[in-house]
Each structure stands twice: as structure tokens, then as C-alpha cells.
Amino acid sequence: MSHKFMLINSASFKMIPSSDCLIINTAIARYREKMFLQDCSRLDYSFRGKHLFYQNQPPLIRRTAENVGQLRALHLSWSGQCERNPQMNMNEAYQITVDAVKGAEIKVSCSLCN
């Protein structure tokens, strides 16, 4: 198992869908908010006013053999047409690829999608 990792800058990281799809665009907005949590009060009200990271000062992390660079984007693609709502008989499969040069991609295939 490899212990290599890539850093993500929350200010510039992009999630890029292969085409316009309302359900995908809504999910991107929802998960972006959850992925880059800065305010701990969103985890628990007792953390109100406390932050996870230093304000306006990114941590100093040097590139090493394990740190292979910065992940700038996640590309999302899917086969079939864009569904408005999930259906009971849908069968989705996901393939996630992360490459230090090409970036990251999630390919979704769906059987029984219209």
C-alpha cells in the first residue's frame, strides 16, 4: 500500500462535471461545503467561534517523497443521461482514479438509468 498523498487548497480546488446536470451540480455544492469545513461550530454547537485552521495563513507543508503535489481538480463523468432523481432500481458503480499528473476523476456508470 502506498502512503503517498496530495494536498488540496480549499480556495482553488474545483469539482468539474463533464456536462450540466442538476443533481450533480447540487451534490457538488453540498459536498464542497462539507469537504472544506472551516468553522467547528458546524460540527457541534459547543465549538462555536473556534476554527479548524489558522485564519489567512496556510500551513507550511514541504514536498516530500510521500507528498506528491497539489490536487487542483476532481473531474466527474458519467454514462447515460442525467437523472432528475434517484430511482429504486438504479445500480450505480463508481471508479475513482487519482494521479499526480492527471489529477483525480470519478467515473459513474449506471444500469437501469433512463
Q: Any idea what DSSP says for residue 64?
A: -
Q: Which CATH number do you get for residue 19?
A: 3.30.379
Quote the domain boundaries for residue 86.
5-111
Q: In this structure, are residues 83 and 18 in contact, taking their beta carbons and an 8 Å threshold?
A: no
Print pLDDT tens along the chain (114 aa): 668 888 888 778 889 998 888 888 888 888 887 777 665 555 666 666 665 555 555 555 667 778 888 888 999 988 877 777 777 777 778 888 988 778 899 888 876 565
pTM of the model: 0.67
Residue with cell 443521461: 81
Number of structural domains (the chain) is: 1
Q: Which of 27, 7, 8 is nearest to 17 (CA)?
A: 27
Q: Quick check: 92 and 76 in contact, CB under 8 A?
A: no
Total Cβ atoms within 10 A of residue 40: 15
